[in-house]
Amino acid sequence: MHRIVVLGGGTGGTLTANRLRKAYGLGEATITVVDQNDRHVYQPGLLFVPFGLTHPEDIIRPRGRQLHPGIDYRTAVVDHVDLETQTVHLADTSELAYDVLVVATGAVLAPEETEGLTGPGWMEKVFTFYTPEGAAALEGALAMFEGGRLVVNVVEMPIKCPVAPPEFCFLADWYFRERGIRNRVELTYVTSLDGAFTKPVASKALGGMLAERGIELVTEFNTGSVDGKAGKLVSWDDREVPFDLAVVIPVHNGAPYVANSPGLGDELGFVPADEHTLQSKARPNVFALGDAAALPISKAGSVTHFEGEVLVENIGRFLAGEPLDASYDGHANCFIETGFSKAMLIDFNYETEPLPGHFPGQVGLPLLKESHLNHLGKLMFQWLYWHSLLPGRDVPGITSSMPSHGKHHPKTPKEATRL
């Protein structure tokens, strides 16, 4: 009987455990999922909470209920992993022995790492929408906001869903227009990147959309401290951005237990893994996916989903002593809400930039273009998340590898610069 232990019961841990349960009969493998709480948050929904478009209770479900029967679910904090003895040590002092370990403990926000961020003004005029509590508190603050300088700041990369902060800016523009006070609000997006996004083509498109909406873009700003009392962000090179209301995306690290598990993670607590097989660099019987993995691709739910399909195949191959499937190509797919019931879609992988065209084929959702259809896709995704993606069902027409059909590939370098 194989003992498979999955650390983390979020997007990656849940879909992996459910797919594994389908692949192995009850007599073939025990599957145990460990998470520190029983609150599964549909995180893309957090974007809509500050604008009153959804509420935390609509995007949170009990974690254990998302797991198929026959999966053992433990609510416990992981304390550390002993790779030598193949044992997970839980904070309640119990232990779990494994033959295969899946690390899916995501990324942890560390606002306390930025000087002043959680000091005076925190949750009064300095907020984050990356937690249900922060997003709900921000809803109240936005409703009270009658004008002034609203700043959205990404302290440092990597973060989960790098398009969520520009999306917040677009929705803020829409929200203040709806309230008839847009002319009284200065919107500024402050990022440590050299543009609005990590990939040049999408960055150019998003940068243009920010400019069209009168949202100022401040780049290469590495936030050193946040002064909530005086209302200013200060960079390490002493530039200042003043604010009346700040929406900050704090530093992200791997889960703290990774640092206490010799050999498992890197200096940020993320777990290095082979970018095509998802096998960890630490041990052949340890796999990592989602935000917890140190891979050169966005930390996103879509990425986690596509990785999960290959990872589950590879656990099967590993246990059967077969060569691993190296087919994960870095496929990522993100809907970018742009306000006024429109959204843009980008689809890319390790090698290919987000390109214009259609997804998933010649006919489909428009890429790199705002459309109402994409907005509907973004809204529908929540249903797919709970009913298809988490239960481990295949989504018809969507594959873990990036589709090329339907994309306009530039034929010359000159054409590429015009995209």
Ligand X SMILES: Cc1cc2nc3c(=O)[nH]c(=O)nc-3n(C[C@H](O)[C@H](O)[C@H](O)COP(=O)(O)OP(=O)(O)OC[C@H]3O[C@@H](n4cnc5c(N)ncnc54)[C@H](O)[C@@H]3O)c2cc1C
Binding site for ligand X (CB under 6 A): 8-13, 34-37, 43-44, 46-47, 77-78, 104-106, 129-130, 160-161, 164, 255, 257, 290-292, 299-302, 304, 334-335
Closest to ligand X by CB, 76 or 416: 76
Closest to ligand X by CB, 175 or 227: 175
Closest to ligand X by CB, 184 or 372: 372
Closest to ligand X by CB, 140 or 147: 140
Rounded Cα gap, residues 39 and 24, in angstroms: 27
Q: Name the minimum Å distance from CB 49 to ligand X.
A: 9
Tokens of 416: 């590429």
Closest to ligand X by CB, 265 or 301: 301
Q: Name the minimum Å distance from CB 20 to ligand X.
A: 14
Closest to ligand X by CB, 160 or 331: 160
Residue of 8, 17, 69, 72 lying closest to 40 (CA atoms)? 8
Residue of 87, 91, 88, 89 lying closest to 77 (CA atoms)? 91
Q: Name the minimum Å distance from CB 196 to ligand X.
A: 16
Closest to ligand X by CB, 121 or 250: 250
Closest to ligand X by CB, 231 or 306: 306
Q: Name the minimum Å distance from CB 405 to ligand X.
A: 22
Closest to ligand X by CB, 156 or 186: 156
Q: Name the minimum Å distance from CB 180 to ligand X.
A: 27
Q: Name the minimum Å distance from CB 348 to ligand X.
A: 12
**CA distance to 344, 347, 378, per residue, from 372 (Å):** 9, 17, 10
Q: Name the minimum Å distance from CB 206 to ligand X.
A: 14
Rounded Cα gap, residues 257 and 253, in angstroms: 11
Alpha-carbon torsion 143, 145, 151, 156, what sign?
A: negative
Cβ-proximal residue to ligand X, closest one: 10
Q: Are 25 and 121 in contact (CB under 8 A)?
A: no
Q: Name the minimum Å distance from CB 338 to ligand X.
A: 13
Q: HSE on the CB side for 411, CA within 13 Å?
A: 0
Q: Name the minimum Å distance from CB 36 to ligand X.
A: 4
